[in-house]
Homo-oligomer: A and B are copies of this chain.
Amino acid sequence: MDYVQNTWYAAIWSDDLGRELTPRTYLNVPVVLYRKLDGTPAAIEDRCPHRYAPLSMGKLIGDEVECLYHGLRFDCLGTCTDNPNGAGIIPKAAAIRSYPVIERFGMVWIWMGDPARADPELLPDLGPLVDTERYTSMHGALKLEANYLLVLDNLTDLSHASFVHVETLEPREMAREQFKVSQDADGTLWTRLFHPAMTVPKFFALVPGLADKMDHWLEMRCNAPGVMVTVYGVTDIGKTREEGYDTFNPNLITPETDYTTHYFWGSARTFALDNEELTRTLKGLAELAFTTEDKPIIEAQQKILGRRELMDVHPVLLPNDAASGRARRAIERKIAEEKALARAA
């Protein structure tokens, strides 16, 4: 399966990466992640070019990784720096790929494509996750046994919340609202919904002291293929959003293999910043929603599809699939552009 290569993919939450060699697979490629002595992250191919042993089984020595099998050593650029066998000659071809990584918003991001194009400016803004003055945030991760496009479909059509998450997030009547889809010049895709004076959704009902009926917004910002941010909140009827209770919820998806996906979720809220019990409660609710509501249905889709791609079975489309359709087409376009570039090179 083809993937967009020239983009920043979420690799691992910052607090999950230390000095241990950490093996991960992205876009079917085995990668080993680690932190250098200065604390910055590094990512190189997780297979020694000599015998295809995973380097992650070896040792981290300073900023270099030594293969367990025959001791070849590689720096964080993928250059072989030592062959401790015999005369110690290092073959020219003894190099592996290294991957640009950048740490921002509490996340380590990886660029699986052409390193020359790895521009930090291309990172979508997830500022609220680390803006501790205005937000309190939390995050988690799970693995889905499904192709990432099924997860993208799920996230770009928030109407599913009124059914899949009817016990945890949105009431059923929200589905009757029509999401407005729009697109920025840079390709950022938006779906937006505003519901005045409605019964407060389940999620907010957990916040102490809110009114029974409030104005509610539910929005999705999508930077395909991997960054989708849900923004939802409530405010007293007729008041501004700034006066209300807002949340900023990145959902970051990274293909692991053709049929498995890394799913990272974060959530930053603008209210009750110091209420740690509320943080714990909301975190439990989010994990419940992702693990027991989204994950089973998405994995069940994949099971029915088997090795087929959803669009290849010509499913019936609904108006709510507009955003997902646009995102999928944007991904196809990017992949085609990258192939054209590769042919030209």
Contacts and interface: CB of A to CB of B under 8 A. Distances in A.
A53 interface: yes
The complex is assembled from copies of this chain, and their number is 3
B57 A300 contact: yes
Interface stretch (A111-119, A238-246, A309-317): A309-317
- SS class of chain A's interface: helix, strand, loop or mixed? loop
A39 interface: no
A320 B70 contact: yes
Interface stretch (A4-12, A175-183, A271-279, A336-344): A175-183
Contact of A157 (B70, B83, B93, B172): B70
A70 B316 contact: no
A46 B46 CA distance: 41
A3 interface: no
Given A53-B300, A86-B177, A301-B51, A160 B315 contact: no
A30 interface: yes
A86 B157 CA distance: 12
Interface string A290-331: 000000110011011100001001011111100000000000
A315 B50 contact: yes
A68 B297 contact: yes
Contacts of A304: 30, 46-47, 52-54
Nearest to A310: B52
A106 to B, nearest CB: 30
A12 B22 CA distance: 39
A144 to B, nearest CB: 14
Contacts of A70: 157, 159-160, 163, 175, 318, 320
A70 B68 CA distance: 50
B316 A84 contact: no
B176 A68 contact: no
A305 to B, nearest CB: 6
Nearest to A94: B316
Given A68-B164, A297-B68, A316-B94, A159 B52 contact: no
B316 A50 contact: yes
Given A84-B175, A159-B70, A175-B85, A53 B301 contact: yes
Interface in A42-78: 46-47, 49-54, 57, 67-71
A188 interface: no
A85 B301 contact: no
A297 B91 contact: no
A192 to B, nearest CB: 14
Interface string A159-179: 110111000000010011111
Contacts of A305: 52
A236 interface: no
A122 interface: no
Interface of A: 30, 46-47, 49-54, 57, 67-71, 83-89, 91, 93-94, 153, 157, 159-160, 162-164, 172, 175-179, 296-297, 300-301, 303-305, 310, 313, 315-320
Given A71-B172, A85-B159, A94-B316, 4 more contacts: A51-B315, A68-B297, A70-B318, A85-B319
